[in-house]
Amino acid sequence: MIFQQTKSSPEAIRNNFDQQVERFSDIETGQTTAIDSPLCMELVARSAALLNPNAKRVMDLGCGGGNYAVKVTSLLPDVDCTLIDLSGNMLAKAVERVAANISGKITAIQGDYREIPLEENAYDVITAGTTLHHLREDQEWESVFTKVFKALKPGGTFWINDIVIGETDEINLMMLGGWLSILKKQVSPEEVDMYMERYESEDTPRTLSYQLGLMKQVGFSETIVLHKHFNFAAFGARKLK
């Protein structure tokens, strides 16, 4: 797929997500258009709990309705949780759901995580579920990954589940075709067209290898691939110092 040169603005994306709270707030289905979403949420949450069993502070970037925060805090309930999202409607839902899980405090921040300063050396776990594909130029990717690295404590982990593109045009088309074949079994042809239009107008995903390399570039000591199926992947990194 050739992406549009002009992408939707953050404001347009926020307006879109303001209307879709319930779709992004089902822990059983996850994000229904994302391949293996429930499995990836489970893998991320269990990996976070395994590598950071004594976590005290967690953060969910682009939290949406809170699925990743809910899943992680179901295994790590004795934490403070910071939630960040563009959509106020999504954020309110996430706060409500996470509050049922944790004994600590919730900090909710409405805004664009590209612009929001993060406290450094403060968090044990940071998650980003199907959100980073909204980043645009290399500078934005590098800035956000650097910000996350600095926000983590030594030993902290960063977990991503997101759409990724293929390494070549041919592989990318094959992976996109695999995604479409799954979508067509789940939703109507009209909905497939709508999701593809949003993919083209809103999303600028990168390859898995680009993101793993960027993690190492900004300072992460270890990278971890949990799962990949067609053009979706779950993976992470650990900051050892």
The residue ranges of every structural domain in the chain are: 10-238
Torsion angle of the four alpha carbons 93, 94, 100, 103, in this order, in degrees rounded to the nearest 10: -140
The DSSP bridge partners found for residue 233 are 162, 228
Residue (of 224, 214, 45, 58) closest to 144 by Cα position:
214
| C-alpha span between 45 and 39 (Å, rounded) | 10
Please report, for residues 46, 88, 161, 208, 228, the alpha-carbon distance to residue 164 in angstroms, rounded to integers and kept in the order given: 22, 27, 9, 6, 9
Per residue in 182-238, pLDDT (tens digit) is 999 988 999 999 999 989 988 999 999 999 999 999 999 999 999 999 999 999 999
Question: pLDDT band at 20, cuts 50/70/90?
Answer: low
Question: What is each CA distance from 46 to 2, 68, 178, 192, in whole angstroms?
Answer: 36, 11, 27, 32
Question: Nearest 5°: phi and psi at 35?
Answer: -70, 135
How large is the average pLDDT for residues 85-95?
A: 95
Please give the pLDDT value at position 13.
52
The CATH number that domain 10-238 falls under is 3.40.50.150
User: What pTM was computed for the model?
Assistant: 0.89
Closest to 58 measured CA to CA, from 152, 160, 132: 152
Q: Which alpha helices (DSSP H) does the chain contain, by range?
A: 10-18, 37-51, 67-75, 88-99, 138-151, 169-186, 189-202, 208-218
The residue type found at 186 is: Q
Stretch 98-126: mean pLDDT, rounded? 97
Least confident of 7-16, 97-106, 197-206, 209-218: 7-16
